A and B are shown apart, each in its own frame.
Chain A
Amino acid sequence: MQVIDYKCPNCGSSMVFDSETGMLSCHSCGRKDDIEQFPDPLRENVFSEDEVVEYHCNSCGAIIMTESETSATVCSFCGAAVVLGDRLTGTLAPAKVIPFSISKEKAMDAFQKWCRNGRLTPNGFMTADRIKGITGLYVPFWLFELHNKIEVHGLGTKVRTYRRGDYQYTETQHFDVYRKIDLNYVQVPIDAAEKMNDELMDKLEPFPYDQLKSFKTAYLAGYIAEKYSYNDEELYPRAKEKVSAYINSSIQSAMSGYSTMSYTNKQIDTRLQHADYVLLPVWVVHYDYNKSEHTFAMNGQTGKVVGKPPISMAKVSAWFASITGASFISLKLIALMMGGGLW
């Protein structure tokens, strides 16, 4: 009973999560069930501790081929949505989930539009047959709450210059500056999937946290989900590094108003309050172009697209030439207006 599936009580088809309505829905008969009210099979079942070697589809009996991180997938034989229960319980149980609000079709459209708008992407880049696959993926994240107690000492100067007679005076006032600051960061997301590119995932932010729901396996029906590869302890250094940039910029603004500032002592005491394990929705698109594969990701709630598209040298040259040419002609016109000749 490690494999959970969602059979329609009316017609027996496999039900999936519908991003439009936020309900568990049946494509065959149109039945829709409210997930909030739906009894979660995870809570009713106790899984054996045994290492599971094979998962079998409840619908057709075929072996479900998965990677070791996968916690939800689709049966490759009959297409039924299946959730691997033992990979979502115990320490692997997500606290919350943000469900998809952008459907596969909308995601495809948005991707194509984004590529067409790419001013430097080659013209032939965006054709449908290049899409190798689009996957709705619930990516495991840890949301960190970090409290920071900060004490900073610095030497600041305020510089004033004025003229008296034939002399230019520079008056420098020196200050000893001290600040005690509390900076508490909540829900700082760090992606916990080994295979996802950290830089790409960082650019997907922000996720709308008001859409966070208590985790129910039914949200995963019809999508791919992964379990975390790194736990919160392992990712704590990354979280700390991420907020340290925010901290430094906050310190700077807290000590503003001076012409120069040199820090003599900076103490930052960071405490980890807690970290929540959540699943966040990401559309992943694989593209074939010029024999190399490009990966793009889209925030499954906001629709923000990230990823490095190929760059067309012809378009780069054209833009460069036209911007340079336009600047040059503008400069010439400015020179002409100022009284200069064309050459």
Chain B
Amino acid sequence: MKKRNILAILFFIAVYLAVPMEMSLASAELKTLIYDEAGLLNKEEYNELNVMANEYSAKRETDIIILTSTNDDNIDVMKMTEDFYDEKAPGYDKPNGNTVILTMDMRNRDFYLAGFYKGKEYLDEGRLNKINDKITPDLANGDYRLAFQKYIQTAYKYMGFRPGVNPDNILFNGWFQLAVSLGIGGIIVGTMAYRSGGRVTVNRQTYEDASTSGILERQDTYMRTTTTKRKIEKNNSGGSGGGGGGTTGGGHSHSGSRGSF
């Protein structure tokens, strides 16, 4: 039956949409997006992450950069980030263009996340703080490879959401959407199957003789009142990552989130 084939195809499209697409390896030339001056990654890890950063950067038209430093001159990590941006002039679209940077200051064990241009528009302070929260535990554990991977993936993922919305809203989760859809399908088809044999269409009023039935007496006696009180928790969004953005010496404004590990 033709209709059924179409339905089956629809179903597969749905499943396909639920699963994040695996990116095919771009054969284009690789940019250097990871500047591992502190030597936190081995050769293999470096290559893997650099390839990944290149792919995701292209998808969002924004360079996703990692800079690690032993900070011999003891410069503040935010200033280090801004100077790097002014001097290296990174950017996907043009020099000093769309960029996100994670800077690691291994001397003071500080790090700083900054977004420039499109990076700033899509990764505002709130979203950078979320990335900050996600990678801090791995940085503290010394698992730099994992933290960098999460940074690249999360920056990529959050840039897929319109600025201003909460990217972690569960409605945006593909698996959640799939689970809810399966639930709706199951309930509706289950109800259809259940009802296929006919339904009971009489209720309590069908056989009730309304002229002789009814409430003869009613009493509602008030006895007492009890009151309980509960303190309302003021749950202000206490951000662990502080910082905020700024403007580089070269006049490029950016969003930012600072942390330490």
- A residues sitting closer than 8 Å to B (CB atoms) are 118-121, 123, 156, 163, 166-188, 202-203, 205-206, 243, 245-247, 249-250, 254, 304-309, 311, 314, 316, 318-329, 331-332, 334-335, 338-343
Q: What 6 pairs between A and B have smallest CB-CB spacing?
A: A339-B162, A306-B198, A341-B160, A324-B185, A321-B11, A246-B204
A176–B206 touching, CB < 8 Å: no
Give the distance in Å from the alpha carbon of A186 to the alpha carbon of B208 in the complex. 6
Residues of A within 8 A of B39 (CB): none
Closest Cβ of chain A to B178, distance in Å, is: 6
Give B contacts to A, CB under 8 Å.
1, 3-4, 7-8, 10-11, 13-14, 17-18, 20-21, 160-165, 167, 169, 171-172, 174, 177-178, 180-182, 184-186, 188-189, 192-193, 196-204, 206-209, 212-232, 234
A318 in contact with B4 (CB, 8 Å)? yes
The answer for the CA separation of A107 and B160 in the assembled complex, in Å, is: 60
Shortest beta-carbon distance, A189 to chain B, in Å? 8
9 pairs, CB–CB < 8 Å, chain A vs chain B: A120-B192, A168-B232, A178-B218, A178-B220, A179-B218, A181-B216, A316-B193, A322-B7, A329-B17
For the complex, give the distance between the alpha carbons of A185 and B210 in Å: 9
Q: Provide the bound-state CA to CA distance between A12 and B206, in Å.
A: 45
| A144 CB to nearest B CB, Å | 9
Q: In the complex the two chains form, is B165's CB within 8 Å of A321's CB? A: no
Residues of A close to B200: CB separation below 8 A: 202-203, 205
Q: Are A307 and B197 in contact, CB atoms less than 8 angstroms apart?
A: yes
Are B189 and A175 touching (Cβ within 8 A)?
no
- Among B162, B197, B224, the residue within 8 A (CB) of A306 is B197
CB-CB under 8 A from A341, the residues of chain B are 160-161, 172
In angstroms, Cα B206 to Cα A206, docked, is 8
Q: Which of B21, B188, B215, B225 has a CB less than 8 Å from the CB of A172?
A: B225
How far in angstroms is the closest Cβ of chain A from B34? 25
In contact, A314 and B4 (Cβ under 8 angstroms):
yes
Q: How far is the CB of A11 from chain B (nearest CB, A)?
A: 42
Chain A residues, CB < 8 A from B225: 171-174
Report yes or no: A185 in contact with B198, Cβ–Cβ below 8 A: no
| Of listed B164, B224, B228, residue having the most chain A CB within 10 A | B228
Question: Which of B198, B224, B232 gathers the greatest number of chain A CB atoms within 10 Å?
Answer: B198
* Cβ A328 vs Cβ B186 within 8 A: no
Q: Report whether over half of chain A's contact residues are helix, strand or loop; otherwise say mixed.
A: mixed
What's the Cα separation between A205 and B231 when bound, in Å? 55
Residue contact A311 to B229, C-beta cutoff 8 Å? no
Contacts of A181 on B, CB cut-off 8 Å? 213-216
Report Cα–Cα, A119/B193, bound state, in Å. Answer: 9
Q: How far is the CA of A247 from the CA of B193 in the complex (A)?
A: 29
Task: Determine how close the nearest CB of chain B comes to the CB of A21; give it in whole angstroms.
Answer: 28
Complex CA gap A163/B201 in Å reads 45
Please give the distance in Å from A111's CB to the nearest CB on chain B. 12
A68 to B30, CA, bound (A): 92
- Whether the pair A325, B189 counts as a contact (CB closer than 8 A) is no
Which of A305, A321, A327 sits near B8, CB closer than 8 Å? Answer: A321
- Measured in the bound complex, the distance between the Cα atoms of B218 and A121 in whole Å is 51
Q: Could you say which residues of chain B place their CB within 8 Å of the CB of A163?
A: 232
**Which chain A residue shows the least CB distance to B185?**
A324
B17 & A343 in contact (Cβ 8 Å cutoff) = yes
Closest to A153 in B: B219
* 8 Å CB contact of B221 from A171, A176, A309: A176
Query: Are the CB atoms of B181 and A243 closer together than 8 Å?
Result: no
Among B1, B17, B181, find the residue whose CB has the most chain A CB atoms closer than 10 A.
B181
> CA A325 – CA B8 in complex, angstroms?
9
Contact present for B196 and A120 (CB under 8 Å):
yes
Contact of A309 among B177, B196, B226, B228 (CB under 8 A): B196
Chain B nearest CB: distance from A183 CB in Å?
5
In the bound assembly, the distance between CA atoms of A342 and B186 in angstroms comes to 24
By the criterion CB–CB under 8 Å, are B198 and A307 in contact? Answer: yes
**Smallest Cβ-Cβ distance to B225: which chain A residue:** A173
A317 to B129, CA, bound (A): 45
- In the complex the two chains form, what is the Cα distance from A312 to B139 in whole Å? 56
Known: A168-B229, A177-B220. A339 touches B164 (CB 8 A): yes
A297: nearest chain-B partner, CB-CB: B198
Q: Which of A172, A175, A246 contacts B227 (CB 8 A)?
A: A172
CA distance A305 to B208 in the complex (A): 24
- Contacting pair A167 B232 (CB below 8 A): yes
Are A186 and B207 in contact, with the CB atoms below 8 A? yes
Q: A184-B213, A314-B4, A340-B165 are in contact. Are A324 and B208 (CB under 8 A)?
A: no
A325 touches B196 (CB 8 A): no
Q: Name which residue of chain B comes closest to A123, CB basis.
A: B1
Contact pick for B222, options A173, A178, A329, CB 8 Å: A173
Q: Which residue of B lies closest to A305 (CB)?
A: B198
**B229 and A343: CB pair below 8 A?**
no
